[in-house]
Amino acid sequence: MELVDRYLYAVKFWLPRKQKDDIVAELSEDLRSQIEERESELGHKLSDAEVEPILKRCGSPLAVAGRYLPQQSLIGPALFPIYSVIIRSLFFYFLLPWLLLWIGIAVFSPDFRADHPGAALLASLEPWWLACTYSLFFNTLAFALLDRSHARSHLVNNWNPRALPAPRDHNRISRSATIFQLTVVVATLALLVQVDAFHRVFHFFGLTVALSHQWPYFIWAMTVLNGAEIAICCLNLSQPRWTRLSASLRLGLNVYSSGLIYLLCRSNLLQSLSGNDLPSSEAATLVDSINSWVAGSVIWVLVIGAIVLLIDVRRLLRVGRAA
């Protein structure tokens, strides 16, 4: 009977203190009755190997004890969906972009890697880990407390069908947003024409700004971009719903514009600055500073571009599924 005693001892460990002895006595009686019946069938005392299947059939000690305990959860089913949405939003809209930005900086910025050699690179991620831990801990704690308070029943039971939000049509393209976008694009084109942007040399506030010889190509590329934007805006106005065509065009155009901005940042666009009150040595330093600042901000272009492209791909997949 040593196996039975070990089994009962293991079950007893997990049981509520007040009921331990009572439950174990009853379970023990049942098991011994089963063993006695089997022994009378076989005509001999059961060996450990023969007792084992009886105990196995009864279930693991933890599972058996668990059935005597009240069903417990840290956050109940009434509040868990809200908790889940908040945790997912925190991750996708805050923690994940932060992590991607850190990866981008760690990969593309030699200065950052030089400032954080070896293990210090991982240590620079400490604020992110802390943000993860704190946000998970405090959200869980807040919801666990809310689940045990009277506020839960107020939150769950006080609702009004009229106050529920209208169903959102993810594939609808807002006309006002399209008109706003169209206005911005036309204004940009008008500005390019107004300042005669195809030239490389500009004069303002007593300063002469000379841009690199690549500048006119960028302006041509931007003009093409704006023309395509106008075409897409017109398409969206005539058919204000995302289709495979419009979603693919939007994705293609965003890839194009992200690439253009990336090249613009990396091209040392500012060639020279000159002015009556600006010594040439200072002007050269200023040109270098501006060009390196612009080149340094390429990481933001990559991060924002990646987020925009993810949104575009997601939209394209959604439209494909709906078609």
Partner 1 sequence: MSPNTETNSDDRYENLRQELRRGSLPLAVLAALRTEHYGYTLRKTLADHGMAIDEGTLYPLLRRLEAQGLLVSQWREEGKRNKRFYRLSADGKSILKQLLTEWKSIHASLEDIF
State the residues that interact with partner 1 by CB under 8 A: 19, 23, 25-27, 29-34, 57-59, 63-64, 67-68
φ, ψ at 241 (rounded to 5°):
-135, 145
CA distance 113 to 155: 49
Q: How far is the CB of 250 from partner 1 (least distance, A)?
A: 40
Question: 104-141 burial, b if ≥16 CB within 10 A, otherwise e?
Answer: bbbeeeeebbeebeeeeeeebeeeeeeebeebeeeeee
Q: Which of 11/270 has CB closer to partner 1?
A: 11
- Residue 248: enclosing H or E segment and its boundaries? helix 244-266
Q: Measured from the CB of residue 58, what is the shortest distance to partner 1 in angstroms?
A: 6
Minimal distance in Å, beta carbon 31 to partner 1? 8
Beta carbon nearer to partner 1, 10 or 249? 10
Q: How far is the CB of 101 from partner 1 (least distance, A)?
A: 43
Query: 10 Å Cβ neighbour count for 75?
Result: 21
Tokens of 99: 């992590």
Q: 87 and 139 in contact (C-beta within 8 Å)?
A: yes
Judged by beta carbon, residue 70 or residue 167, the one nearer partner 1 is 70
State the Cα–Cα distance between residues 26 and 194, nearest whole angstrom: 93
Q: Toward partner 1, which CB reaches closer, 34 or 271?
A: 34
- Three-state DSSP class for residue 188: helix
How far apart are CB 68 and partner 1 at their closest, in Å? 5
Closer residue to partner 1 (CB): 34 or 188: 34
